[in-house]
Structure 1
């Protein structure tokens, strides 16, 4: 995006040079990728000055040449040989001084040197208008009518001063800054200057002789449509000042009508379109869609096949323009146009984006519409355009403004925590400074308490919808460079907060998993629908599809974390990195039966290959179910979310066996081996152990209260049991029975050996379990210990059919 500094200074009066302004904008997120000098004429008339001819005499050796002396303000007259027939003493002329470069109209540039012409010294050149590139006449030198001092730069006399142009790398989220006024609004917040909107106070309706009726059939695609008629105008070239500004930002002037629409677009960010009012059939505009496959010829002379999702601006007989994207050839402004209808509208970004991609069209208008324009700028921009049109093309407003806006787009209401803002900023900047920044950016403070600000965010701030977005706005204006390091390092994990911040919990768990040798990955939420097809149509039906996808491989939002992780595993394994432990915290999406979409966060862990690197100290074994289960159990324990039931995994599309942790019927985590069919389909040749945790649920259940107590005064006692059980009995079942049987003395249980083999009956397994007992009031006696262990053995025998090995 190109922004003219001269144009910008008409909207905000700042006493900084272009380099300083560029640095300010870059610091605020509008990265200035370069600052160019724009000259209305090539070279900017540098080294070309106004001079006065003091003497003029015939050249002694050439009949058509004159030898002159010219005062160019240096104190010493310059000797210049001139071949123009109209040169004479006493004239004010344009002089190209020695070492200046001329860029003649239609010719190659050349440098002026001190030379001898037929034996006479020549120290410059007296110029005709074509020789300095401001015209085409070569009839003679320019003779100026001016009292300016000799030596005055000619660029100032002709009003052809250079401009500085910023090349800004506009990110997609900054639609609010896609105009000169949008940039000025940021500068308003960055400096003490105030941005000034161009005045539209002189707008008035002269008569209503050319009304154009408007009907909007598709208000989803076009929430607001407005227009007004200007009649009696004359199409022709724009004035030089307007052409200069348009050229500075890379646009070629066309005519005064089209130039005004482009001017307002780049000034205010509101795209406009001008229709020849005499070509609007039935004096009626209908905003609607048309049948797919219909032919339509656009302004560039190309015939296009319309899509059913293209929003068209139609008259009583048919389409005139593709809404928000491109005008039609037949309804465009021509040299014979005398009346125009100016369109100013707010089109849905989704509709414009889909249409632009479908036709491969990218215009200045669609660039802004598909990112989101300001629906509240529609009428203002319309008035601004009508006034400019009258100024540069004559005519008068010949209709009332028509404005179809059935459902006004509301502001976003955001509640900002002052404490939260300061924590995210990393520094206390004060409530008043926060309010000043927000007000300068156009965000209204509607309410205030000691702890919170109630904010009304206008719709032109399309990317500001949450508290974090507001803090980002504050921080980019306050300045990242202004956030200093505190004198004392501090941390929040020892402090007590009423409600823990999700980011802190996430960081704690991520650090724990990473400390256990896992590498964090970040993958794309958009994936390939073909991954889900082997699971059947039911699985595919639940996918959330991307409407305007750029690649067949990226056409849906992921329903599971499985495939994005397998893609990473495949890439690493194919590069001989086979011992892998990975984790990712990301989002999954699902299309529900009622048409709504469910979005949730998941924590996924993957293990493949050996559990650790080879070492001379100890052998390295293959990763197993229990290696992953241990990490999952510790994550659940660190979240302090309570007890979970362990149940056999219900087979799904990715895992046929494993375990599930549940709480009150909700599946909290699932883990097990990924089905071999899934890994083969993804071309992963290793067995993959996988776990997926319901992160949203776990965050809700998270408790950060730490229970502390004094160390026990009496010793613990350990007793061991060997139980022979059916193979389908889990340790979790044994644990639940034990703690239900002995709630006071039993402190902990642990499995230290498991045996399956020919020493016991088929279908059986043996657990060696340790029990830790403690009485905090007194020393345990053998009688109490034996009684406790006896009751535990009785319950194991009764409920599990256990054989106690003595």
Structure 2
């Protein structure tokens, strides 16, 4: 949201600079994300002043040049060479001094420098209007009629003020600050200065009208308040410069004076308005009603939309929609150049109704932005009168009928109980009741009743003072005691809450369970530290990916209101969406990828129930690293993926998973890792069929971890141990076994055989050859032994190795190569 400081100062008088106002607003919860300086003329005419031509003589070496002396009020008479034919002694002129940067109406900016022109020094430039961006004329220099002294800044003479625009990151709960007046109210409390609404005392409406437009509320719950005003003799045309300048300052493009006024009031007061061409309202009646299911309606952008029964529309006497209430106007009923009669709408619509209509039709406007968050029902008539007065000023409009105001059920203030001791308890610091009262008053929160509980339960307990507060409806987020205390703390200032030297809690809680979000962040850091990049893909995807892979149709979670056949199902697997990311990158010659994603999968169970599962998936494709002169890059391998998965499992407290062959519909081989006999990860190569179907042109390694189970069984993997005092010993064995025997099987045999001294088992070579025999392979395995209590003797080491050899021979049929 953009707020013009110049505009803001018309509502609250303050001379504080933009930077200070930005800090104040940020400290109160309206975060100012940036401040942009706006100038009426590029460069702001800095270095350009008023001067007087004292003398003028012809240049000795150029017929069309004049040599002048100019007084610019600083006590130094400057010689300036000028080429204008109309320059003469005694003229008041505009002078650009040495160092000034000029932005002409046409052409590139240029800087004024002391120079020599045809041999004579020139210390500035006497300016024409096009040379300083004030017009198009270049017939001669500007000759002024003024009594202002020499040296007066030209920007001050021409009234070219500058403006600062605050970019506020408005949070959804601060609907009360979604306008210049809303921000002014905030500053009123922060600066202790009064702010005021625009003057609408000049508004007058006739008592009767010849052809009034009636308003019928057919759904008062969706439209609690609807007001309108008929204006005649409207002359649609361009807005005056001041109005266009206001809108441009906050990034809006002027359209015409009627539409510009509605936009102006919206951003000034936060009250959305809509202007109808009154001659297009059939039957001189406005009906605020729900739409008919399936009826067609063309909005201002020319798009034909199919309405739903829950959409709230503004219709004519026949029920034909003219606007989507609070969201967008219709094409046929809008203001055009031929419009002379305008019906001006100002309303309060239920936020949930507008939000649902906007989501259904994928429409977001400045009006719906405010209605969705909650506007102020008390601003309806103020905004309407303000717009009517502006239209009288800029479009010659006349008020043709009294205001129609349908308001069947008054929306009053909200009663909230505030216990003063509770303020100190939540803030952590005593705030004087007088200061609290002052803050509440500045925020338009009234104290309607004060209660004191005189019944003491102990001798030391103080009476509890309770205030019954009346919270205005524009404070849509203040409904509870805690909300009121937050309002008090915002204005009191978070920076004013002192940090105590010894913080303490009022009670002792149980040791908290591990925070899943922190564990997830730590895992993300672990993978990112290994060169993986995190991706986030859409939970909605194409059902064809899964139907063609044999996914049962009854398990797919299909969308009922999908807008695209390619986005019609909630994903039962993260793999296809990840492959889409890989395809996108590979097609753009980014082939070496290491990716991971945390996400949910969705399935439908028997009986129509649904289930969600959190997963962590990892992708590896392309080369391991860019090729350099020092070494060639190798292709990514399964073992690199397995290493990353095992590091993740180890960080979560599962350092030594077992394995079995993978059974996964999208993988063409790999392993399933088990912890506590539970499958926790599946990894392997994505099948060629799946890659072809998703048009991925290179092999992809994929791993999928059951994140929900890992979080339920998470163990703190940080274990502190004393550094070993005695050395470890390594022994190697070369084992010839059947090809069906995996290293994991050998590792499990070793760990079952020796549980005390065996610290690590590692395979450092695998060999297959005809000399081993058909169906055989050889593992070269290293064993690391260590006793924390003493140095191992040869006898103890040999005893362990002999038992390992015996078990390998018995359980795996291994032959030890000597």
Residue 199 (structure 1) aligns with: 199
Q: Aligned pair 1:138/2:152, yes or no?
A: no
After superposition, the Cα gap between the structure-2 partners of 1:685 and 1:520, relative to the gap in structure 1 and judged at 3 Å, is closer
Instruction: Measure the CA separation in 1 of the matches of 2:84 and 2:476.
Output: 62
Is the Cα contact below 8 Å between 2:613 and 2:708 reproduced in 1? Answer: no
Give the equivalent residue in structure 2 for 1:411: 413
The answer to whether the 8 Å contact 1:50/1:93 transfers is yes
Q: Is the 2:294–2:308 Cα contact (8 Å) retained in structure 1?
A: yes
Q: CA deviation at 1:683?
A: 7.0
> Number of residue pairs matched?
583
Matches within 5 A, 1:700-739: none
| 1:28 Cα deviation after fit | 0.6
Give the equivalent residue in structure 2 for 1:291: 292
1:509-538 deviation line (CA, Å, top 9, x unaligned)? 3x25569x998889xxxx99x9xxx9xx9x
* Alignment partners' CA distance in 2, 1:310 and 1:461: 26
**Aligned counterparts of 2:300 and 2:293: Cα–Cα separation in 1:** 20
Residues in 2 aligned to 1:389 and 1:472: alpha-carbon distance in whole angstroms: 40
Matches within 5 A, 1:172-571: 172-206=172-206, 208-209=209-210, 211-316=212-317, 318-449=320-451, 450-486=464-500, 489-493=503-507, 508-509=509-510, 511=511, 513=513, 552=570
**Does structure 1 residue 127 correspond to structure 2 residue 147?**
no
Equivalent runs, 1:520-669 vs 2, <5 Å: 552=570, 577-578=648-649
8 Å CA contact 1:25–1:187 kept in 2: the answer is yes
Determine the C-alpha separation between the residues in 1 that align with 2:251 and 2:258.
18
Structure 2 CA distance for aligned equivalents of residues 575 and 225 of structure 1:
64
Distance 1:476 1:319, change over 3 A: same
1:400 aligned counterpart, secondary structure: coil
Deviation at 1:577, TM superposition (A): 4.6
Deviations 1:108-131, CA, capped at 9 Å, x for gaps: 222222223333333222223222
Deviation at 1:86, TM superposition (A): 3.0
Task: State the SS of the aligned residue for 2:430.
Answer: coil
Deviation at 1:92, TM superposition (A): 2.0
Structure 1 partner of 2:589: none
Q: Go from structure 1 to structure 2 and tell me whether the alpha carbon gap of 1:295 and 1:8 turns closer, same or farther (over 3 Å shift).
A: same
- The residue that corresponds to 2:83 in the other structure is 83
Structure 2 unaligned residues grouped into runs of 5+: 452-463, 522-538, 544-550, 572-599, 620-641, 659-675, 683-703, 714-818
Question: 1:60 Cα shift?
Answer: 3.4
Matches of 1:305 and 1:85, distance apart in 2: 67
Distance (Å, rounded) in 1 between the aligned partners of 2:569 and 2:498: 44
Cα distance between partner residues in 1 of 2:707 and 2:122: 84
3-state SS, counterpart of residue 282 of structure 1 = helix
CA distance in 2, matches of 1:190, 1:239: 34
- Distance in 2 (CA, whole Å) between partners of 1:190 and 1:687 is 50
Structure 1 range deviating more: 259-268 or 50-59: 50-59
Q: Could you tell me whether the CA contact under 8 Å between 2:680 and 2:710 is conserved in 1?
A: no
What is the CA-CA distance between 1:292 and the residue it aligns to? 4.3
Partner of 1:161: 161
User: What's the CA shift string for 1:519-567, capped at 9, x where partnerless?
Assistant: 8889xxxx99x9xxx9xx9xx9xxxx99xx99947999x99xx977865
Using a 3 Å threshold, how does the CA distance of structure 1 residues 246 and 578 change in structure 2: closer, same or farther? same
Relative to 1, partners in 2 of residues 1:51 and 1:369: Cα closer, same or farther, differing over 3 Å?
same
1:392 deviation in Å?
Answer: 2.2
**Residues 679-703 of structure 1: CA deviation (Å, up to 9, x unaligned):** 99x9749978979xxxxxxxxxxxx
Pair 459,49 (structure 1): closer, same or farther in 2 beyond 3 Å? same
**SS of the residue 2:397 aligns to:** strand
What is the TM-score of this pair, normalised by structure 1? 0.64
Q: Is the 8 A contact 2:62 2:118 kept in 1?
A: yes
Q: State the distance in 2 between where 1:334 and 1:158 align.
A: 35
TM-score (norm 2): 0.63
How do 1:725-764 and structure 2 match up within 5 A? none
2:47 aligned with 1:33, yes or no? no
Compared CA separation, residues 282 and 132, structure 1 to 2 (3 A): farther
Aligned to 2:74: 74
Distance 1:122 1:512, change over 3 A: closer
Report how far residue 93 of structure 1 moved: 2.1
Q: Relative to 1, partners in 2 of residues 1:81 and 1:253: Cα closer, same or farther, differing over 3 Å?
A: farther
Would you say the 8 A contact 1:273–1:327 is kept in 2? yes
SS in 1 for 2:287: strand
| C-alpha spacing 1:482/1:145, structure 2 compared with 1 (3 Å) | same
C-alpha distance in structure 2 between counterparts of 1:2 and 1:106, whole Å:
29
SS at match of 1:464: coil
| Structure 1 contact 179–266 (Cα < 8 Å) conserved | yes
- The 1:123–1:301 alpha-carbon spacing in structure 2 relative to 1, beyond 3 Å, is farther
How far the C-alpha of 1:21 sits from its partner, in A, is 1.1
CA distance in 1, matches of 2:707, 2:416: 50
Offset at 1:179? 0.8
Does the aligned pair in 1 maintain the 2:206–2:402 contact within 8 Å? no
Q: 1:101 to 1:569 in 2, by over 3 A?
A: closer
Structure 2 counterpart SS, 1:196: coil
**TM-aligned CA distance change 1:363 to 1:139, over 3 Å:** farther
* 1:478 CA displacement: 0.9
Structure 1 regions of 5+ residues with no counterpart?
A: 494-503, 582-608, 615-619, 622-673, 692-806
CA distance in structure 2 between the aligned counterparts of 1:364 and 1:274, rounded to whole angstroms? 15
SS for the counterpart of 1:296 is strand
CA distance in 2, matches of 1:85, 1:405: 69
Shift of 1:252: 2.0
SS at match of 1:10: coil
- Give 3-state SS (helix, strand or coil) of 2:64's partner: strand
Deviations 1:752-786 (A, max 9, x none): xxxxxxxxxxxxxxxxxxxxxxxxxxxxxxxxxxx
Q: Name the counterpart of 2:20.
A: 20
**Pair 1:685–1:24, CA change in 2 (3 A):** closer
The Cα RMSD (Å) is: 4.4
Distance 1:454 1:150 in 2: 63
* Equivalent pair of 2:224/2:408 in contact (CA under 8 Å): yes
Task: Give the Cα separation in 1 of the matches to 2:296 and 2:127.
Answer: 55
Residue of structure 2 in register with 1:99 after alignment: 99
The answer as to whether partners of 2:293 and 2:307 remain within 8 angstroms in 1 is yes
Look up the SS of the partner of 1:64 in the other structure: coil
For 2:48 and 2:21, how far apart are their aligned partners in 1?
Answer: 29
SS in 2 for 1:146: coil
Equivalent-residue separation in structure 2 for 1:368 and 1:489 (angstroms): 41
Structure 1 residues 479, 569: closer, same or farther in 2, change over 3 A? farther
**Distance of aligned partners of 1:491 and 1:685 in 2 relative to their CA distance in 1, 3 Å threshold:** closer
